[in-house]
Structures are given as C-alpha cells and as structure tokens.
Structure 1
Amino acid sequence: MAHTGRLLPLLSNRYEEAADELLRKISADTGDRLMLKMRLASVVDINTLDAHIPGGRWFALSAELDYVVFDGETRLPKFAVELDGRQHWTDLEQRRKDAAKNRICEHADLPLIRITSDFVHTTGRWPLLSYAVNAFYSSEAFFEAQKNGSVPQDEPFYVGNVLTPLQDGKSGFLPGTFDALAIRDLWSLHRNGLIPRPIPNTFKVRPDEGGGVRAIAYLPVAKDRYLISESRVRDFRFQGISPYDLAEEICVVDIANAAADWLAGKPVASNSTTMRKKAAEIQRLIDDSQIVGVGAGTGIIEGSEEFSIKLTRRGR
C-alpha cells in the first residue's frame, strides 16, 4: 500500500528504536507485554485523580506514556518508561507536564523511570536501561519471596545483594550493581600498587530545578593528581533502583574507566588546584544541605594535605 504522507511512525529516531529493542527483549524474556504511546488515562484510574491532584483527570486524558510494560498474566501495568530529550531539562512548560505525570504515576503506584539517550548505550556492564529494568524484576522477585516467607519481612531490597555471573570468560559472580565490575577493577589496580586507594569518594546531590539528580566522585591516583567524575540523571520514582544510587554508580564506572586511561598515559587526571575548587563546591553543597548521601565512612575526607571536606555543616 502506498503511503500518503499523512501517517507518522511510532518510533521517530534511533534513541527510541534502541529503547524499544531493549524493552521488547526484556519483556519477551519475562513473559510481559510492552505497549507504546499509551494514553495515561488508559493506564491509571482517572476517577480518583482530581481529589488528590487538581486538574489531574483532564491532564491524564491528554497525556501519554512512551512505554508501559504490562503483566503477562493479569494485564495490569507494571511500570512505565519516559524518554526525555533536552527540552525536559530546560523548557518550563515541559517540566510542569513532567511533574504532573510524575505525581499521577506516584498516586497510582505505577513505577516510572525517566531516561535520556545515554541509557540505551552499553556503558560498563549493561545499557543503563537494561540495568534499571533488571533491578525492577529482581526487586519483584525479592518482594514475592518476602510474601511467601523465604525472605525476612524486615530485610530491605538492595540490588547489590543479587549475584550475577561474570561475562568476561571468568568463573564466579559479582554483585548486581552497575558499578560492580568497575569496583573489582579498581581493587585490582590498588592491590597491584598502581593506585593508592581502591574506591572513590562519592556524593549524592538533591534534585535541581531542572529535575536532575547529580553525583560527584573523586579518586586520588598520585601526588597532585585526581580523577574527578560527575553524572546527572533524571529524577524518578522506580522500583529496584533510585536515581541517587544510579548516578553514583555511573560516577564509579567513569572513575574506573578514567583510571585505566590514566595508567595508559592519557591526560585525564586533574591537579590539586582543580581538586580544591571541586572540594569547595562539595563543601558548599554540604553546607546548603544539598548532599543526601556520601560514599565514605569518616567525618573528614582527606584527598591530600591541601584540602578536606567536612561532612557536617560548617558554622556560619
């Protein structure tokens, strides 16, 4: 049949096509169903919205979700995926719509993850989208095990407790976190005397006005040389992984990749002047109560004799 030019494709770019391919594979493996461009009112009960979210009913009638995964047996929605382009960070009207959609999904207990184009590329062990969705299914199995009594009710879910087999031709297992392989590699470098410390210091930052959750990490690798990484992901409410943990794990992977580059002679390390500026920025975030979590166990994090970061607010 000849196309008249009045039809539009459901998938309009490579980013959407890659996300579709990843989600379809996971859905096929789990027996669930994937649907595209679902109207929000077809997924949640809109009759309960206006009492909790002013204007929510009418918004749900016009808004849609990019992807919705349905239970293969009950046909009930399990989770939704939104693909956010640049305008979702910067356009005020788009951010308002995103916030309304977030509130409706949260009210309906529908896990929603917001992803950007880099989620469909393999970084570290998996594409980030595959990792997040697998974390969802791992948590689902965990909570089912709690229901049948095989897991204590007071035990919290942590994706790192799920062991996955190694994929690099070696026997054994790794924790199920995105950065587990990076942490293993950093420890190996440290044990071989190639870097002075095995694990970077990490800091999780509250969402900014653009709906972004940040993480900052640094690792001293030699005198006056530091590897610094920052990541920013969309804020979301999803089952199995939080945006804070995801941003932190991305930073650790970036640090491990930078360590390999530095040892290969690439100029990827910063000097103490740059590190002092970054430490001052982190301290301001702490003082302003913007840090929600740190990957360190001491009250003072010392990167060198030239700077320190106090994990409690400084007096003003």
Structure 2
Amino acid sequence: MLNKEIFNKYEKVTYEKLEKVCVNVNASVFPKVRLADIFPITNSGISNEEYSFALKSHFDFTIYDNKSSQPLFAVEFDGKSHRTEIQKSRDEIKNRLVKRFNLPLLRINSLYLEEKYRNLDLLSWCVEVWFLAEYFYKAQEDGTIPYDEPFSPESILFTSGNEKKFPFFLSFDIRNEIKKLFEEKQIKSFIPNVWIGTDNNRNYYGISWLYIDNEIGIFTTSGMKAQRFPIIESELLEDIMIFDLYNKLLDFFNNKRNSVLNQEIYQRVNEFEKKYRIASASLEG
C-alpha cells in the first residue's frame, strides 16, 4: 500500500531550501506544525472561530531556534488553491493569528524558488536576511554596532562562504551594467526608473522603465503581496522588477522587440500614480 506523501513537489523544494539555510544558523525546520501547538490560545481572548481554526490548522513550515526551542517564524507556500474564496478566508484568519501572537509569517509561491537572482532564490534571500537582521540587532544591543545605524541587506559587503561583493544586493550587477550602457551611449537612462505604490490592503504594485533614446523605451510591471515578515517589500519588488527590465533590455538589443514609445511609458506611470499611494520611487533627473 502506498503512503501519502507529506509534501507536494514545491513544498519539497521549499523544505530543502529552508533546511540549507537553517543548518548554518543553529535552527531547525518543522513541517505541518499545528497552530495550537505554537500559540498559547487557551484564555487568550481570540474568537471561537479563531480558536477552532488554530486547533485544526497548521503552518506549512515552522522554523525553530535550536537553543531555546522557540518558534522564530513560519513559511506558507501559497499555491493555486489559495486563490479560492474559501482559502482566502482561511489565510486571513491565519494572518490575524500570527499578528495576535507576534509570529512573523512569510508567504511564498513558486516564483520564490527560482535561482535567478545572483544564484539566489527569493525564499533563501528572505530567510538569510531575517537571520542577518537578528545578528545585526543583537550586535547593536551589545554595543558592537552603533544603535542608530539602520539595517540594510544591500550594505552587507561580504558573508562567509559567498565570494560575491554585496551578496544580498540582488540588482547590484545589473545596475552596474545599465550604468555602463549609459556611459557607452547605448541607452539614455543612467539608472533604472522605479515607481512603487500600495493599495488599500498594503499590497505593492510597481512599474520600472528605461529610456533607450528620446523616442522609445522599455518598461515592466509587477506586484507583491503585503508580508507579515520583516522585509521591506518595496525594496525587494524594486530589485525583482530591475531583473525583468534588464532581460527586456537584452531582448531589445537582440531583436529590437519590447520597446514602446516614451509617451506610453508616461501614461502607464501616470496610471500607477493615480491608482496607488506612493511607497517609494527611484527616478533619474
């Protein structure tokens, strides 16, 4: 008789990537841990619906500190089933509970598993940055780092086992390539332009563009759900869009496709500005 598999193929990859990061930071990954086994729900003041949900539901993955045996954060893989109204309702209850009990929750999909960002995938990037931030804040408490110095993954010069300069600055190489193309007068823009806004649910939507010359340019758009996880979504979305933008630029040089009139870019940016509240912008000029 065949036993039921605990993971689907995406969850298996997610588990392997989480384990790879956690083994180096004295943490462990546990799949399918029930919410009621993590949160002190008894007499906690949560609703009957939330109490019942916590008894029956689990996180896809929970990361624990090996020293304290305390949960650090959880990871949920949101596949196609999470698009249904029933699942959206369940996800909202889970979001309320992690907020109530102050547990970070990272929600990912299959795009987070692709190793295309300087040999990193977005899942590994998020988890590595979480642990780096913890070390950073602990060093501030110990007085090793000035208390008023902000944590920024882009400013980390080197890490052990990684030879790349600024390993967590995902668009570092691409930004340099764009600058070179500008200096060689192959494009008009000297930096990738980025505009990012939020909707009423704090989800992020952005547009990034480059001007090839005075007449034509290229652009890309993307979005990211609001996370209950200590990352700056707008900065991560900016790097993701710059990768997509650079790929479009390479396609343009190869076959002159993907370009549009600059007037169309102006119109699209204007649409974003009217529809969303500005969260961040990196603009030339």
- Taking structure 1 as the reference length, the TM-score comes to 0.81
Change (3 A) 1:154 1:235: same
Deviation at 1:154, TM superposition (A): 2.4
Change (3 A) 1:229 1:63: same
Deviation at 1:189, TM superposition (A): 1.9
- Which residue identity is paired with 1:291? I
Change (3 A) 1:42 1:82: same
* Match 1:162 to one of 156, 159, 174: 156
> What CA deviation, in whole Å up to 9, does each residue of 1:269-291 have, x standing for no partner?
222353243133123125xxx22
- Which residue identity is paired with 1:9? E
- Which residue identity is paired with 2:141? K
CA distance in structure 1 between the aligned counterparts of 2:253 and 2:200, rounded to whole angstroms = 35
Deviation at 1:236, TM superposition (A): 0.9
Indicate yes or no: 2:122 matched with 1:133.
Answer: no
Say whether the 8 Å CA contact 1:174–1:181 is kept in structure 2.
no
CA distance in structure 1 between the aligned counterparts of 2:122 and 2:164, rounded to whole angstroms = 23
Change (3 A) 1:198 1:18: farther
Q: Within 5 A, what are the aligned runs for 1:1-316?
A: 3=1, 5=2, 7-13=3-9, 15-47=10-42, 49-51=44-46, 55-88=49-82, 90-125=83-118, 126-164=120-158, 173-174=165-166, 176-207=168-199, 212-239=203-230, 241-285=231-275, 290-296=277-283
Change (3 A) 1:112 1:172: closer
CA distance in structure 1 between the aligned counterparts of 2:7 and 2:256, rounded to whole angstroms = 39
Change (3 A) 1:61 1:266: farther
Deviation at 1:233, TM superposition (A): 2.3
Say whether the 8 Å CA contact 1:218–1:229 is kept in structure 2.
yes
- Which residue identity is paired with 1:105? V
CA distance in structure 1 between the aligned counterparts of 2:93 and 2:50, rounded to whole angstroms = 7
Deviates more, 1:228-237 or 1:68-77: 228-237
> What CA deviation, in whole Å up to 9, does each residue of 1:184-218 have, x standing for no partner?
22222222222222322212221466x84322211
- Taking structure 2 as the reference length, the TM-score comes to 0.89
Q: Give % identity.
A: 25
Change (3 A) 1:297 1:225: closer
Change (3 A) 1:100 1:32: same
Deviation at 1:138, TM superposition (A): 1.1
- The number of residue pairs the alignment matches comes to 284
CA distance in structure 1 between the aligned counterparts of 2:211 and 2:186, rounded to whole angstroms = 11
Say whether the 8 Å CA contact 1:221–1:227 is kept in structure 2.
yes
Deviation at 1:141, TM superposition (A): 0.9
- Which residue identity is paired with 1:156? P
Say whether the 8 Å CA contact 1:50–1:56 is kept in structure 2.
no
CA distance in structure 1 between the aligned counterparts of 2:137 and 2:223, rounded to whole angstroms = 29
CA distance in structure 2 between the aligned counterparts of 1:117 and 1:93, rounded to whole angstroms = 21
SS in 2 for 1:164: coil
SS in 1 for 2:139: helix
CA distance in structure 1 between the aligned counterparts of 2:172 and 2:212, rounded to whole angstroms = 20
Change (3 A) 1:38 1:266: farther
CA distance in structure 1 between the aligned counterparts of 2:266 and 2:114, rounded to whole angstroms = 33
- Which residue identity is paired with 1:199? I
CA distance in structure 1 between the aligned counterparts of 2:241 and 2:21, rounded to whole angstroms = 25
CA distance in structure 1 between the aligned counterparts of 2:138 and 2:70, rounded to whole angstroms = 17
> What CA deviation, in whole Å up to 9, does each residue of 1:36-69 have, x standing for no partner?
1111111222136435x66322221112101111
Deviation at 1:120, TM superposition (A): 0.4
